[in-house]
Amino acid sequence: MYGKVKIQFKTKWFDFSKIIDVTRRLTTATNLGMNPKVAAVGFMTAMHAHIINGCVGKEYSFMSIVEAGIETVKHLIYNWCKHGFYSRKSQDKV
């Protein structure tokens, strides 16, 4: 694939195909990353995999998911009640 776009400048040849390929990949990633539909589908896919892994017990148990959810909700409520989204007790930001 490389070597398709060569430009001669005086006595030297410059290969721009790598630069064009990197630019194309960066543009594709940016367009997909900025698209809310793609972000929503990615989120749903990740949540589906997370729930299935918990139910099957492949990576972690279902109780681990429940405990992590409870801990997350506790941190969110604690931080929201402190007005400023900052927890003075645990020194972490949400």
| Ordered DSSP codes for 20-60 | HHHHHHHHHHHHHHT-HHHHHHHHHHHHHHHHHHHHHTSSS
CA distances from 6 to 2, 16, 22 (A): 9, 6, 16
Quote the pLDDT of residue 15. Answer: 76
Does the structure show a pLDDT above 70 at 34? yes
The whole-chain average pLDDT of the chain stands at 78
The answer to whether residue 45 is domain-embedded is no
**pLDDT band, residue 3 (cuts 50/70/90):** low
Structural domain includes residue 63: no
The total domain count for the chain is 1
For residue 14, is it within any domain?
yes
Tokens of 85: 């989204």
Indicate the residue type of 62.
F
Query: How many whole angstroms separate alpha carbon 31 and alpha carbon 28?
Result: 5
**Residue 91 domain-assigned (yes or no):** no
Average pLDDT score over residue span 45-62: 84
What is the span of the domain harbouring residue 6? 1-34
